[in-house]
Amino acid sequence: MSNMTVNQRNQDDRALYGGSAERIRRNSERGALVFSLIAFVVAGFLCYAAAEIMNGWWQFVVMGAIVMTAVGAMIALSPNRRG
């Protein structure tokens, strides 16, 4: 600590303040839940609409490739992924 500047010491101490961070985390979880529910309903309607307008097997193959690419990107970019 003796070789740190005042700014570095303040940044180190700032990470120890935990009182307000817990309140922010709870509110953002509630907002994330509401957003997830709304996004799930909208995604369901969009999937239904896309399936209704597809009129050939090749369109389902292309849609499947797009979905698999999106799932692969989510797996590759996951912050919880090891390595």
CA atoms of 77 and 73, how far apart (whole Å)? 6
Domain definitions of the chain by residue range: 6-76
Q: What is the pLDDT of residues 27-68, one digit of tens each?
A: 677 888 899 999 999 999 998 999 899 999 999 999 999 999
Task: Name residue 83's amino acid.
Answer: G
pLDDT digits (tens, 9 = 90+) for 6-19: 777 777 766 555 55
Of residues 50 and 80, which shows the higher confidence score? 50
pTM, entire model:
0.51
